[in-house]
Amino acid sequence: MRKSMTAITMPERRPGQETITLYLPAELKDSFKRLCLLRGTTMTEEISAFIEDSVKENEEVLKLVEDKLKLKNKKRAD
């Protein structure tokens, strides 16, 4: 039995994970895919690593935003 293209190219979704849909020019996507092949990784692994690094590098900013939102919500509740 032949697998569908989606089953071949898409990693299996795991509990607690979300999906991000991203539209790119075809040439950019193809170049990125080739780069990942050269590195021995997948596009998912590379994008996930980029997101993780970005979040870690901006933890202080994210904390400030979170604190501000909590304060704003507290004022609304009062």
Residue 8 pLDDT > 70, yes or no? no
pLDDT grade for 56, boundaries at 50, 70 and 90: very high
DSSP state letters, the chain: -PPPHHHHHSPPP-TT---------HHHHHHHHHHHHHHT--HHHHHHHHHHHHHHHTHHHHHHHHHHHHHHHHHHH-
Q: Is residue 8 domain-resident?
A: no
Q: Is residue 47 domain-resident?
A: yes
Q: Whole domain around residue 31: which residue ranges?
A: 23-77
Q: Is residue 43 domain-resident?
A: yes
* Predicted model pTM: 0.66
pLDDT grade for 3, boundaries at 50, 70 and 90: low
Residue 52 pLDDT > 90, yes or no? yes
Q: Is residue 37 domain-resident?
A: yes
pLDDT grade for 77, boundaries at 50, 70 and 90: confident
> How many structural domains comprise the chain?
1
Average pLDDT estimate for 20-36: 97
Q: Is residue 1 domain-resident?
A: no
